[in-house]
Amino acid sequence: MIQKTNSTVIVSRNLLLDNLRSFSRFLDPGTRIMAVVKSDGYGHGAVEVAQTLDPSVEAFAVNAIQEGIELRENDIAKPILVFEVPQQRMVSQYRVHNLTATISAKEHFEWLPNGTSYHLNFDTGMGRLGFHPSQAEEVADMVQQHRELFCTGIYSHFATAHEPGFSLVARQHETFRKIQSFFPDGLAAHIANTGGTAFYDTRQCTMVRLGIGLYGYSPGSTGIRGLKPVLSWKSFLAQTKEITSEATVSYGAEWQAPSDGYLGILPVGYEDGIKRNLSGRLKVRIAGKEYAVAGTITMNYCMVFLGDDYYEPGTEVDLLYTENNAYDWAQKLDTIPYEILTSIDTRIPREYV
């Protein structure tokens, strides 16, 4: 993959580990941690994130089998759970790379080759993948019938744990406990995600899955003390040009300069992950001072009105930073930090510090 040269994403290993340690106060004694590094580590770089966390967690989770293979090829030896429905053309790779499959429907027992390890997924209220709770006894029988496969865990997923105070969390947890009663005690069992771990006092089974919290964000609007964003994003001024009062900028000619001054051109746009709907809402930072983006954000460029301030081409520009992070962008776009982070183009180089 050819990397871009228009910007750089900086990822702090120390902050990643600090965020992990912040969750220790929420864990029941003996609870293990599965670190979720799907979608290229939520845009942070799955391999580097996994290598950083490897000494401190017990397992990893990815969405796609190709993501698991990438971790194995980069010396991650701990268990890796693959969430996706098994792809029949790829199922041989579970054994080749010692990956743990997910079985969430009866036919999956037939698809997986002998010797494959797997976790069972039950739908206790998420309404996505997974067996219905009423199938628990039948699924337990199928586990016994397919001894050529190795069941090593069982899991579900909270639908509303992104905020505290939802009664559905307790109902899902109770349903999951009932499902567990049909299966051996020695299986890994996990239902709690970041919010389920931080916001709810329900017992955590044997393992929790930490995703967005590792990267410094709460899953909803309620903050989690101690978390700090791990990722920042920098670009530079490709060009600085004079602009006169009332001159228009970008497509639609809807923005007009409020006065004479300077316009900075940044070589990043919505192709890179700066959403077009941030037009008129986004600020960036140059030399410690914030400036508003001028006009419509385009595919490859966005413009900044600098007023009377002149900066040389090549001057560094902060796009995502502590005071203007993925949560702030998400608030402007009525979305969540997950979408902001995973939208940053993977061709933009990640620098690990």
The answer to whether residue 327 scores a pLDDT higher than 80 is yes
Kindly name the residue from 106, 178, 241, 251 that is annotated as catalytic: 251
Query: Can you read off the two tokens belonging to residue 153?
Result: 């865990």
At residue 201 the predicted structure's pLDDT band, cuts being 50, 70 and 90, is confident
User: How many degrees, rounded to 5, is the angle at CA 111 between CA 106 and CA 114?
Assistant: 110
38 is catalytic: yes
Say what percent of the chain tops pLDDT 90.
97
Q: Which residues contact 273 (CB under 8 A, 6 or more apart)?
A: 340, 343, 344, 345, 348
The domains found in the chain, sorted by start residue, are 31-215 (3.20.20.10), 231-352 (2.40.37.10)
Give Rg (Cα) of the chain.
Answer: 23
Q: Which of 119-123, 195-199, 204-208 has the lowest mean pLDDT?
A: 204-208
What pLDDT sits at residue 5?
A: 95
Q: Is the pLDDT of residue 202 over 80?
A: no
Is residue 210 within 8 A of residue 58, CB to CB? The reply is no
Q: Could you give the CA distance from residue 131 to residue 129 in angstroms, rounded to a whole number?
A: 7
Catalytic residue among 38, 234, 262, 291: 38
Q: Return the pLDDT at 47.
A: 98
Place of tokens 């060009």: 239
Task: Grade residue 27 by pLDDT with cuts at 50, 70 and 90.
Answer: very high
Closest CA to 68 of 92, 100, 111, 44: 100
Tokens (6 digits) for 20: 């992990």
Mean pLDDT of the chain: 96
- pTM check: above 0.85: yes
Band the pLDDT of 1: cuts 50, 70, 90.
confident
Count CB-CB contacts under 10 A for residue 44.
Answer: 25
